[in-house]
Amino acid sequence: MAKPPQEFKHKIFRTGLPRTPEQRLQVARRSVFLHLHPSRIAADRMKIGFTWCLGGLSFMLFLVTVVTGALLMIYYRPVLENAYADMLDLSYAVFLGRFTRNVHRWAGHGIVITVVVHMLRVFYTGSYKPPREFNWIVGVCLLLIVLAFAFTGYLLPWDQISYWGTRVGTHLLHSVPLLGADGPFGSALGLKPDGDLAVFVLGDADLGPRALVRFYSLHVFILPVFAVVFLMVHFWRVRKDGNLAAKL
Ligand code: HEM
């Protein structure tokens, strides 16, 4: 008899309370944290198929940014007086500094491209359909994380282009519905430009030292933690759901 389709919420919260020993075992087998490595994988799920390696390439570029970013952290200080000078030092005085900086920058640009093309591949092969719709949503979160990495990293050199680019980007937050002073319902809610979403993000009425530290801590700590958790769940679901493209 055909199984009834699972409700979407059961794909996210996969089990109810485990009451029998079998159900308790299932919790361990199905949980990413308790059992990251699935206990069983169908043979065809291990084949390299028509994925164009785009997910793998994205992950490889992610690793490159992690290693080069850690090296850049040795010199870079997220303080207004030092940030730009540290970037100049890295480019002209530090051994292999310019190379490390450029590899980090290009890998960062590259990952945005590979992730978007990976997403298109998943879309055009219909790989977002059940049972992979949960992994599609995990992927959308990963896309937002990658874009947030790019946006926060852009400010760090604290040169003219990064300052004005980020200023334009963060100014848009004043126009977000309900949360921005200039956005729809902003004035009805009594929001002021010096107390809305933009100020919450920047930590101040304008782009300054607080914004630099916030963007730095997002870029080197908060976003990486989110990225690692979402990547773990993403890879675990790829293995559990099976890679559709491998069968094409
Ligand atoms: C940092 C970002 C990402 C990394 C490192 C990553 C990595 C991977 C890898 C290694 C695979 C298996 C091989 C492949 O299909 O290429 C995969 C599959 C998949 N990814 Fe991603 N991915 C990312 C972002 C995304 C995004 C933005 C989406 C969609 C919104 C997405 C949705 C999926 C889905 C649904 C699958 C299963 C495809 C299938 O079974 O054919 N991923 N991902």
Say what the pTM is: 0.85
What is the model's pLDDT at position 234? Answer: 94
Contact between 153 and 221 (Cβ < 8 Å): no
Distance of alpha carbon 48 from alpha carbon 54, whole angstroms: 12
Structural domain contains residue 145 = yes
Contact between 174 and 182 (Cβ < 8 Å): yes
What is the model's pLDDT at position 66? Answer: 98
35 or 224, higher pLDDT: 224
pLDDT at 125 over 90: no
**Helix/strand/coil for 30:** helix
Task: Name the residue at shortest CA distance from atom 16 of ligand 1.
Answer: 55
Structural domain contains residue 103 = yes
- Position 243 confidence tier, pLDDT thresholds 50, 70, 90: low
State whether the Cα torsion 32-143-207-82 is positive or negative: positive
Q: What is the mean pLDDT of residues 126-144?
A: 94
Distance of alpha carbon 144 from alpha carbon 79, whole angstroms: 26
How many structural domains compose the chain? Answer: 1
Q: What range defines the domain where residue 116 resides? A: 50-159+209-247
- Ranking 12-16, 142-146, 161-165 by mean pLDDT, the lowest is 12-16
Q: State what percent of residues in the chain have pLDDT above 70.
A: 82
The Å distance, Cα 89 to ligand 1 centre, comes to: 38
Residue-wise pLDDT for 43-80, tens only, equals 665 665 667 789 999 999 999 999 999 999 999 999 99
Q: What is the mean pLDDT of residues 136-155?
A: 98
Contact between 111 and 146 (Cβ < 8 Å): yes
Task: Name the residue at shortest CA distance from atom 17 of ligand 1.
Answer: 55
pLDDT at 26 over 60: yes
Structural domain contains residue 102 = yes
* Pocket lining for ligand 1, CB < 6 angstroms: 51, 54-56, 58-59, 62, 115, 118-119, 122, 127-128, 132, 135-136, 139-140, 142-143, 146, 231, 234, 238, 243-245
Structural domain contains residue 24 = no
Phi-psi region for residue 6, left (φ > 0), alpha (ψ -120 to 50) or beta? beta
What is the model's pLDDT at position 57? Answer: 95
Q: State what percent of residues in the chain have pLDDT above 90.
A: 67
Cis peptide before 157 (omega within 30 of 0): no
Q: What is the mean pLDDT of residues 158-167?
A: 97
What is the model's pLDDT at position 210? Answer: 97
Q: Which of 118, 127, 134, 140 to mutate to test the pocket of ligand 1 (most atoms within 8 A of CB)?
A: 118
Structural domain contains residue 182 = no
pLDDT at 178 over 80: yes
pLDDT at 40 over 90: no
Let me know if 75 is exposed, middle or buried by CB neighbors in 10 A (0-12, 13-18, 19+): middle
State whether the Cα torsion 203-208-210-213 is positive or negative: positive
User: CA angle, corner 82, sides to 77 and 83, nearest 5?
Assistant: 60
pLDDT at 1 over 60: no
Beta-carbon contacts of 41 under 8 Å, excluding residues fewer than 6 positions away, are: 239
Structural domain contains residue 99 = yes
Structural domain contains residue 242 = yes
240 or 16, higher pLDDT: 240
CATH of the domain at 59: 1.20.810.10
Let me know if 164 is exposed, middle or buried by CB neighbors in 10 A (0-12, 13-18, 19+): exposed
Structural domain contains residue 83 = yes
242 backbone dihedrals φ, ψ, rounded to 5°: 85, 145
Q: Which of 120, 122, 233 to mutate to test the pocket of ligand 1 (most atoms within 8 A of CB)?
A: 122
